[in-house]
A and B are shown apart, each in its own frame.
Chain A
Amino acid sequence: MTMILRFLSRSVLVCTLLLFLHSTYCSANDNITYRLKWLRNVSVVGALYAEHNQLFSKAGLNVTVKPGGPERDAIRELELGRADFGVASADQVLRARAKGAPIVVIAQLFQINPLQWIYRPEKLQLGSLADLKEKVIGVTFGGNDESIMRTLLAEGNLDSSQVRLFSVRYDYTPFYRKRVQLWPVYRNAQGPIITAQLAQEGEKTAYFNPADFGVKFVANSVVTHVRTLKEKPELVQRFLGVLLSGWQQALDPENEKAVLSLLQHYEPNIPQTIQQEQLRITRTLIQPDPTVAIGRIDHAGWDQTQEIMVSQKLLPHTFALQEILKPQKSL
């Protein structure tokens, strides 16, 4: 009898220990770090909405959303094991893959690249790419806007000696002072702010969108480590499902009030009317076609992005994109 009791008590102890270890393992698995590409603003509103409304925790995921910035590189963090998921632009992804970084794209956030050029339509008519001739155009040397602009110039049979490329930084003074005619901005984030500021001075603004001239350069996508996708496909599915649901809900006009209050929380200095405009534009960039699911990977866009980078010697050669682009079942 004593032997049986001892055996039972030991069995219970072992089972309890196994259960504890299993639960610890599971919860450790569900601790996720998601590194954004930029600071907390309208461009990442889907993740902010999911975080703020505890969509992740309701799905049993303990997600820490970390803001990005110029010095943050989600791909490096994925490889170093400091993040599980992240946001990276297509050029970053392709450059990283060219150097052997084991990362894959599981969703594409922006269907239309928000990087566009603001200009004053009263001073400038841009009906064709040839109209760029002899203009002063702002570009971030080394940035993807330089690649896009050089492609546009090539498409318009213009070489860089026929325009003046102006090196831009975070300070918009050269554009305000009309030293530069076209200035690169994020259409949904900085665009409405600059438009409002110039409107106060009685000036009109318009946007030069490369996609209107046939140049598609993919912007932000959600990336993860190859190992994560291979070893934890269910976790990837769950995380992505919640994230995209966050985006869906954040862009739903019915939730606008809640979303605007969330944006006010992170950027209290931006007037709500401007944030409303930012949100409206973000909707058109994330889901331009309501029949296409949020997060869809635009293969043609990736093909063109790769071609642009190879032609500008930013990539040594082309890759089989199916190795990089791994759309999930829900998409």
Chain B
Amino acid sequence: MLLKRILQFFLLYALFIGCLLLLKYSLQLSDYVIPGPVGMLQTLTTKYRSYGLATLNTMSIAVIGQVVSVILAFTLGIIGRQSTWLGSFIKVAAYNIQAYPIVALAPILFILLGDGFLTRLLIAAMICYFPLLLSVLGIMSKPVTDIEHFYRATGRMRWQLEVKIRTFENLNQLTTVIAGSATLAMAGTIVGEFIAANAGIGYTIRIALYQSDLAKILIALFFIGITIAIYQAMLELLGIAIRRAWTGK
């Protein structure tokens, strides 16, 4: 799984760079518009250490942000699954928060929390939690009638049991959504760093943009891509392990 994901990423990245180089040489563009392979290699050799560390920094925030999102999404999803006033209120609040563009909220967060760890974490969690919440709400709101009927009829149904049944029956879907949300957590962290931070690969990209240095941006994208590929593969492996432990399959 891990090797497959890495190979797939390398293939995609090579295709992307290949297309750019094709464009560069067919339109005879300078290295300022699209850097040549030598320039990219030079940037990689001089920047691999700092960019690698910056990506790891971003990744650590993204992982924490994703964990926060998963907890938040499950908490809200479980409360919001009921057709009560509170359930409906949570749904409306969740939709509203998602509707606000993060670039408009970021300066407010920046003023309130500064430009450090918390701002990045919050932006990552805000971008990541919504698709998770939608999935959790969808799963938790849908009764598994065949199984639940027995417990309801026998008067043994409690909310914890209801959640367990629905989670178990939709485990495949949930693990896929959680693995997929890793990309969003990473994207959210990068957006946060781009707007309001002094560290991480998003901040590095911002500096490269100021310097109009596309080679640096392409190398940063390489690091982001490879890190996400590895992280996602690890989450998928974790999902398989959890499914095995729960279902024995």
Which A residues have a C-beta under 8 Å from some C-beta of B? 70, 73, 75-76, 79-80, 92, 95-96, 99-102, 140-143, 167, 169-171, 173, 314
Q: Is B111 an interface residue (CB 8 A)?
A: yes
Q: Are B211 and A173 interface neighbours, CB within 8 A? A: no
Interface window among B29-37, B85-93, B157-165, B169-177: B29-37
CB distance from B98 to the nearest CB of A (A): 23
Q: List 20 A-B contacts (CB under 8 A).
A: A75-B212, A76-B32, A76-B33, A80-B29, A92-B212, A95-B32, A96-B30, A96-B212, A99-B30, A99-B31, A99-B39, A102-B30, A140-B210, A141-B198, A142-B208, A142-B210, A167-B198, A171-B110, A171-B111, A314-B211
B137 at the A interface (CB under 8 A): no
Name the distance in Å between B214's Cβ and chain A's nearest Cβ.
Answer: 9
Determine if B32 and A75 form an interchain contact, defined as CB atoms under 8 angstroms apart: yes
Contact A80 B27 (CB under 8 A): yes
Q: Are B211 and A96 in contact (CB under 8 A)?
A: no
A96 to chain B, nearest CB (A): 4
Are the C-beta atoms of B32 and A141 separated by less than 8 Å? no
Chain B residues numbered 1-57 whose CB sits less than 8 Å from any CB in chain A: 27, 29-33, 35, 39
User: Chain A contact residues: over half helix, strand or loop, or mixed?
Assistant: loop
Q: Could you tell me if B207 and A142 are in contact, using CB atoms closer than 8 angstroms?
A: yes
Binding site for A on B (CB under 8 A): 27, 29-33, 35, 39, 107, 110-111, 115, 195-196, 198, 206-213
> Out of B27, B195, B208, which one reaches A169, CB within 8 Å?
B195
Contacts of A70 in B (CB 8 A): 209
Q: Chain B contacts of A102 at CB under 8 A?
A: 30
B110 touches A79 (CB 8 A): no
Q: How far is the CA of A143 from the CA of B209 in the complex (A)?
A: 9
When A167-B198, A171-B111 are in contact, do A80 and B210 touch as well, CB less than 8 Å? no
Say how far A173's CB is from chain B's closest CB, in angstroms: 5
Given contacts A95-B212, A142-B211, A167-B198, contact A173 B111 (CB under 8 A): yes
Chain B residues in 8 Å Cβ range of A75 = 32, 212
CA distance A143 to B208 in the complex (A): 9
CB distance A101 to B32 under 8 Å? yes
A100–B31 touching, CB < 8 Å: yes
Q: Tell me which residues across on chain B come within 8 A of A167, comparing CB atoms.
A: 115, 198
Query: In whole Å, how far is B111's beta carbon from the nearest beta carbon of chain A?
Result: 5
Q: How far is the CA of A14 from the CA of B210 in the complex (A)?
A: 54
